[in-house]
Amino acid sequence: MNATAYNFAYLDEQTKRMIRRAILKAIAIPGYQVPFASREMPMPYGWGTGGVQVTAAILGPDDVLKVIDQGSDDTTNAISIRKFFAKTAGVATTTSTEQASVIQTRHRIPEAPLRAGQVLVYQVPIPEPLRFLEPRETETRRMHALGEYGLMHVKLYEDIARFGHIATSYAYPVKVNARYVMDPSPTPKFDNPKMDDCPALQLFGAGREKRIYAIPPHTKVVSLDFEDHPFSRYRFDAPCALCGADDSYLDEIVTDDRGSRMFVCSDTDYCEGRQAAGHRGTESAAPHKERVHG
Amino acid sequence: MTTVAELPAGFADKVLSAQSTFRSVMDAMARPGGVQRIRAQAGTPAPMMHGTAAIALTLFDHDTPIWLDGAMSATPDAAKWLKFHTSAPVIAEPSVCSFAVIGDARSLPPLDRFALGSNEYPDRSTTLILQVDSLTSGPAYELTGPGIDGASVLQAMIPANLLELLAINATLFPRGIDVVLVHDDAIVAIPRTTRLAAYGA
Amino acid sequence: MYVAVKGGERAIENAHRLLAHERRGHRDVPEISLSQISEQLSLGVDRVMTEGSLYDRELAALAIKQARGDLIEAIFLVRAFRATLPRFGTTEPVDTGTMQVRRRISSTFKDIPGGQVLGPTFDYTHRLLDPHLAEEGAPEAPVTAEPLAVMPRVTDILGRDGLIEPSPEGDADTPVGDLTREPLSFPADRDLRLQNLARADEGFLLALGYSTQRGYGRSHPFAGEIRFGEVEVEFFAEDAGFAVPLGSIPMTECQMVNQFKGSATEAPCFTRGYGLAFGQSERKTMSMALVDRSLRARELSEEIKAPAQDEEFVMSHSDNVQATGFVEHLKLPHYVDFQSELGLLRKLRAEFFEASGRAEPLQEAAE
């Protein structure tokens, strides 16, 4: 039995060409989901195969890669994907948002502002924002073709009638460049405003559903809402217990079985950077150990 | 008659050259009007410019029908080179091509002769590779749209009627034509969302 | 003081080491060999090759061993390997009419040219656990039957009288689709549907096929023929200018014969549902044939009202590698979305209790 030698960044060149062409069309038609012949990857569907394929198609030897899951570089799936690229492409990896040229993410947008030249690659489970209103691809495709998004507004309005709010807290739909309604992937709606007019290129890969879409830099991205019920972000109203940040999205940590809990930044790089700069929360260890990036 | 042995070479390092060329094209598409450079070295069949050849080696294959304009197909060199290095079929009918390679920008046909995609599948559309006389000097144009922070200015020698031809993109969106301008190793993309006007007009 | 969880990389490595240890089982027990799996768990190997879309017994056996007998995991391993293989071209269509038949039965005619050949089958075994198999021992040598033979297909016999629709002819100008190379779009033609069904999870097809028998899109099927045996695989070599035989592989084919009442333009005739798989895969090919016929509802102007007739539903959910990935991805952390949902729920509850004038119950109060 022969051991197989894999290509740079795992994918064969034919597959990369196919994905690259899809990425270019995705950028040219912001928010439109380009079908692509997603390959079977050596990790399960639903675990980032779309993001991994997009990253593999763009990654070069000069890139510095950061991979996060839930905002953290240390979650097991983020580690697994980072190791995959370190092994197959030999690229430098980092946990620093600032130093990364390509950031692959699941469920979060980093807190630190992204800059021009960076690429943010999202892992997407269900790319179709209308899927839970209309399960049929043939129907949702027609709706996008006609720009017919009444159904989505009806759904959001029904929420308001029933709950007094739009009861969508993550994967909150956005409209891109005043044309396509798009699923931002299951990021908390706290992150939605970061997509608007972002200097970085945002690419979205859905492997199982075989779709790639994109938001070019400096593109208008608006969270759907109503004049009398404007979009609002949510974060638990507390400072981070480790770094004291009052502007970051927080993880809720259950500390015992008697109802005690604490809140810490979900973006570990952001939190550690603040701690290194001397910021302290109620629970932070001091003196803080310097964290080595790279 | 050219034999295979006499054809100009492809990329020396297929994998990394294709990657760096793609990143230049991706950056160009993501930042319309901005000039990107193709750094990878590749052989170039006349009358193809360096950037055109590198893009072809990066994006063309047997799944992408290619249409060549009169200037590109004046001699069989370019078609032969494409066939040998990319396996892409060179076809006579522009309305179904994935890429159209235009050697003489002045005789660019009306854009509705190319694939514009459908409203359901606007991605099934032609990308034009258009060789021009300069991407750094010449009349100034102002570009606006996604990818551009406010407005960007491009100085280029492009065909006088390109603005007129590209107007089709504004009316047909999401259908449309995406253009990559090439001069030597410089490229500039004008995707269908970009609005182009004479600067100061 | 709180310290965020670290050391995930180490944890992953340790987990994989433990997995390898558990896979091996007790070290006093001899390690299972690939040839043992291939020879003695051969139907599992057949399934892994079929749903893995790769004919390679040794690799399938390796996948089963590595997956600790979890066939869907083994199929996944084979698929991921397959995706890295270079593609030289496509083989000529296999001709099951020239199959060297090892088993062949028809439920539509009592006797047929070539006869009914039971072959190696669980059919008519009494499902009584056999204590002898708990110990090593050699079974009796098989009674040598007639050598493998070529026999006409039952559907060809029906076809001579025009009683059944002909099999569609291949069209050289329209290459057969490949959903592993081109993104699927709907409506999908039969070539892509059959490819999807051949790769589909056997259990999913079994349940769908069963549902058609119970009235959810009834298609009045008869098992026209099920045949299992060796077929030649040929590859058209452009350099040579002719088809080169690559060898022969065992395959199972099922042709269901289904009622069709005819339409304004078509005379009543039987229609076909088709199933084909690597190795001996009868349940799979029979289920596949039932679902293939159901999915032809649009083409035959039948009313589409049952799940098995709905190509988007069937084709989008039939692949067990996709399905298991997405179901199991729920194991991955969803902290940030859950936190967002918690926030929303707390807000809605606070508003509910405020509006109703009741006090919000506190967990602590119950203790």
Q: Report the residue of chain A nearest C349, measured CA to CA.
A: A163
- Asked whether residue C297 is domain-assigned, the answer is yes
- Asked whether residue C49 is domain-assigned, the answer is yes
Which residues neighbour C357 within 8 Å (Cβ) at sequence distance 6 or greater?
none
Q: Which of C180, C337, C348 sits opposite A170 (nearest CB)?
A: C337
Q: Which of A20, A30, A199 sits opposite B59 (nearest CB)?
A: A20
- pLDDT above 90 covers a percentage of chain A that reads 83
Alpha carbon distance B76, B48 (integer Å): 12
Contact across the interface for B147 and A17, Cβ inside 8 Å: no
Neighbours of B129 (CB within 10 A): 27
Neighbours of A160 (CB within 10 A): 15
Same domain, C105 and C218: yes
The answer to whether C82 faces chain A, any CB pair under 8 Å, is yes
Helix (H) or strand (E) holding C149: none
A72-86 pLDDT tens trace: 999 999 999 999 999
Contact across the interface for A179 and B61, Cβ inside 8 Å: no
Phi, psi dihedral angles at B77 (to 5 degrees): -55, -50
Contact across the interface for A25 and B64, Cβ inside 8 Å: no
Alpha carbon distance C259, C275 (integer Å): 17
Locate B62 and state its tokens. Answer: 């047997």
Alpha carbon distance C34, C47 (integer Å): 16
Phi, psi dihedral angles at C271 (to 5 degrees): -120, 170
Residue B24: predicted pLDDT: 98
Same domain, C312 and C242: yes
Mean pLDDT, range A5-9, rounded to an integer: 84
For chain B, the structural domain boundaries read 7-103+119-193
The count of structural domains within chain C is 2
d(CA B1, nearest CA chain A) in Å: 30
Which among A288-292, B168-172, B197-201, C240-244 has the top mean pLDDT? Answer: B168-172
- Asked whether residue C208 is domain-assigned, the answer is yes
- Asked whether residue C291 is domain-assigned, the answer is yes
Locate B108 and state its tokens. Answer: 């660019």
- Tell me which of C340, C346, C347, C352 to substitute to probe the interface with A (most A C-beta atoms closer than 10 Å): C340
CATH topology of domain B7-103+119-193: Rossmann fold (3.40.50)
Neighbours of C317 (CB within 10 A): 16
Same domain, C113 and C49: no
Residue C367: predicted pLDDT: 41
A142-190 pLDDT tens trace: 999 999 999 999 999 988 988 888 889 999 999 999 999 999 999 999 9
A88-109 pLDDT tens trace: 999 999 999 999 999 999 999 9
With beta carbons under 8 A apart, name residues in chain A contacting C344.
Answer: 165, 167, 169, 234
**Mind listing the domains of chain A with CATH numbers?**
3-223 (3.40.50.11310), 235-294 (no CATH)
Residue B2: predicted pLDDT: 54
Same domain, C219 and C269: yes
A229-258 pLDDT tens trace: 999 998 999 999 999 999 999 999 998 888
Mean pLDDT, range A215-224, rounded to an integer: 98
Locate C70 and state its tokens. Answer: 């979890």
Locate A101 and state its tokens. Answer: 């040229």
Residues 312-331 of C with CB under 8 A from A: 312, 316, 321-322, 324-329
Global pTM reads 0.91
Residue A294: predicted pLDDT: 39
With beta carbons under 8 A apart, name residues in chain C contacting A283.
Answer: 1-2
The residue among C70, C46, C74, C80 whose CA lies nearest residue C62 is C74
At residue A292 the predicted structure's pLDDT band, cuts being 50, 70 and 90, is very low
Locate C350 and state its tokens. Answer: 């606070």
With beta carbons under 8 A apart, name residues in chain B contacting A219.
Answer: 146-147
Cβ atoms C49, C56 nearer than 8 A: yes
Quickly tell me which residue has 């006499």 as its tokens.
Answer: B6
The answer to whether B19 faces chain A, any CB pair under 8 Å, is yes
Residue C175: predicted pLDDT: 82
Residue B89: predicted pLDDT: 95
With beta carbons under 8 A apart, name residues in chain A contacting B176.
Answer: 28
Same domain, C109 and C64: no
Judged by DSSP in three states, C59 sits in helix
Locate A19 and state its tokens. Answer: 């994905």
With beta carbons under 8 A apart, name residues in chain A contacting C343.
Answer: 169, 234-236
In which order are the strands placed within the sheet that holds C100-105? Answer: C100-105, C221-237, C242-258, C271-278
Q: Which chains touch C (3 or more CB pairs under 8 A)?
A: A
Same domain, C73 and C105: no
- SS3 labels along chain A: CCCCCCECCECCHHHHHHHHHHHHHHHHCCCCCEECCCCCCCCCCCCCHHHHHHHHHHCCCCCEEEEEECCECCCHHHHHHHHHHHHHCCCEECCCCCCCCEEEEECCCCCCCCCCCCEEEEECCCCCCCCCCCCCHHHHHHHHHHCCCHHHHHHHHHHHHHHCCCCCCECCCEEECCCEEECCCCCEHHHHHHHCCCCCEEEEEECCCCEEEEECCCCCEEECCECCECCCCCCCCCCCCCCCCCCCCEEEEECCCCCCEEEEECCHHHHHHHHHCCCCCCCCCCCCCCCCCC
A260-272 pLDDT tens trace: 889 999 999 999 9
Q: Which of B15, B30, B123 sits opposite A34 (nearest CB)?
A: B123
d(CA B69, nearest CA chain A) in Å: 22
Cβ atoms C284, C275 nearer than 8 A: yes
Mean pLDDT, range A11-23, rounded to an integer: 96
Same domain, C108 and C74: no
B47-104 pLDDT tens trace: 999 999 999 999 999 999 999 999 999 999 999 999 999 999 999 999 999 999 999 9
Locate B135 and state its tokens. Answer: 């991407």
Contact across the interface for B19 and A21, Cβ inside 8 Å: no
d(CA B193, nearest CA chain A) in Å: 7
With beta carbons under 8 A apart, name residues in chain A contacting B146.
Answer: 30, 177, 215-220
Residue C88: predicted pLDDT: 81
With beta carbons under 8 A apart, name residues in chain C contacting A136.
Answer: 312
Same domain, C160 and C301: yes
d(CA B179, nearest CA chain A) in Å: 10
Tallying the residues shown for chain C, one arrives at 367
Same domain, C159 and C271: yes
Residue C290: predicted pLDDT: 97
The residue among B98, B189, B122, B199 whose CA lies nearest residue B153 is B199
Which residues neighbour C68 within 8 Å (Cβ) at sequence distance 6 or greater?
C22, C23
Average per-residue pLDDT for chain B: 94
At residue B201 the predicted structure's pLDDT band, cuts being 50, 70 and 90, is low
Q: Report the residue of chain B nearest A36, measured CA to CA.
A: B123
Buried b (16+ CB within 10 A) or exposed e, C135-150: eeeeeeeeeeeeeeee
Locate A55 and state its tokens. Answer: 């990253």
- Asked whether residue C281 is domain-assigned, the answer is yes
Domain residues for C68?
9-82
Alpha carbon distance C11, A281 (integer Å): 28
**Is pLDDT of A212 > 50?**
yes
Alpha carbon distance B95, B112 (integer Å): 8
Same domain, C158 and C303: yes
Same domain, C76 and C162: no
Same domain, C57 and C198: no
Q: Which of A69, A137, A188 sits opposite C340 (nearest CB)?
A: A188
Q: Which chains touch B (3 or more CB pairs under 8 A)?
A: A
Q: Catalytic positions of A, please? A: 31, 240, 243, 265, 271
Residue A164: predicted pLDDT: 85
> In chain C, which residues have pLDDT < 50?
364-367
- Tell me which of B13, B14, B17, B19 to substitute to probe the interface with A (most A C-beta atoms closer than 10 Å): B19
**Is pLDDT of A290 > 80?**
no
Alpha carbon distance A272, A274 (integer Å): 5
At residue A289 the predicted structure's pLDDT band, cuts being 50, 70 and 90, is very low
